Amino acid sequence: MSGLLEGTATDTPPATGSAAGEQILDAAYELFCSRGIQAVGIDAIIKRSGVARQTLYRRFGSKQELVLAVLERRDERWTRDWLQAEVERRATEPGERLLAIFDVFSEWFQTDEFEGCTFINVLLEHPAVDDPIHAAGISYLAGIRGFIEPLAREAGAADPEDFARKWHILMKGSIVAAGEGDLEAARRAKEVATLQLRLATEA
């Protein structure tokens, strides 16, 4: 894992306190989510954030600590502030909200900002099950299912947990397919999801 010994600070006057922490976190968020964790060293984060090396040392003791903070922010921004909020804005009925996930994805896949699922990526980059970063990725993915499961229950699924896991597979699969270049992946996943929703609620 890249450490805090990489690179040099920039000539930009360093920020201090909470403002510096936000600058570091914003820079790391952008770089980790777009390029991956292993490909980004602390040197690049220092350069992007404009903070002094010692400021980064004080705010984040290691790259691992910074990665964990970025994953927490990703959960806030991507899962809750974007995906969940956008789904709730588009539909009111639980079944419609479940399907709206793929409508949101469809638009996301068409944008230049599409960067795949950061939580999936960290599992691949940190495969050891005892790695805190791996554990965090699993936890945040479970949080997405935690959003799906209540909707499944309200929609009438007999086994909401099982339904949420199946639904999540379709979500993750569509993201991977979009990363392969299939810009219609969300539409295709929604067709399968519609059948799954019908089967689950009719049963």
CATH number of the domain that residue 79 is part of: 1.10.357.10
Q: Fill in the amino acid letter for 26.
A: D
Residue 11 pLDDT: 39
Based on the domain organization, do 32 and 74 belong to the same domain? no
Give the separation between CA 184 and CA 37, rounded to whole angstroms: 28
Based on the domain organization, do 29 and 89 belong to the same domain? no
Based on the domain organization, do 71 and 53 belong to the same domain? no
Residue 179 pLDDT: 95
Based on the domain organization, do 30 and 75 belong to the same domain? no
**Selected residue with higher pLDDT from 14 and 66:** 66
Based on the domain organization, do 131 and 54 belong to the same domain? no
Based on the domain organization, do 100 and 178 belong to the same domain? yes
Q: Return the residue matching tokens 């309200």.
A: 154
Q: What is the mean pLDDT of residues 177-195?
A: 97
Q: pLDDT tens digit string along 29-78?
A: 999 999 999 999 999 999 999 998 889 888 898 899 999 999 999 999 99
Count Cβ atoms within 10 A of the Cβ of residue 114 and give its class: 0-12 exposed, 13-18 middle, 19 or more buried. Answer: middle
Which of residues 8, 26, 61 is at a domain's end? 61
Residue 1 placed within a domain: no
Q: pLDDT tens digit string along 126-182?
A: 999 999 999 999 999 999 999 999 999 999 999 999 999 999 999 999 999 999 999
Give the separation between CA 129 and CA 55, rounded to whole angstroms: 31
Q: What is the mean pLDDT of residues 82-99?
A: 97
Residue 71 placed within a domain: yes
Residue 8 placed within a domain: no
CATH number of the domain that residue 51 is part of: 1.10.10.60
Q: What is the mean pLDDT of residues 76-92?
A: 97
Q: What is the mean pLDDT of residues 102-128?
A: 96
Which of residues 28, 44, 61 is at a domain's end? 61
The pTM of the full predicted model, rounded to 2 decimals, is 0.86
The structural domain count of the chain equals 2
Based on the domain organization, do 51 and 93 belong to the same domain? no
Residue 203 pLDDT: 65
Residue 118 lies in domain? 65-202
Give the separation between CA 8 and CA 14, rounded to whole angstroms: 13
Residue 17 pLDDT: 54
Count Cβ atoms within 10 A of the Cβ of residue 102 and give its class: 0-12 exposed, 13-18 middle, 19 or more buried. Answer: buried
Residue 53 pLDDT: 81
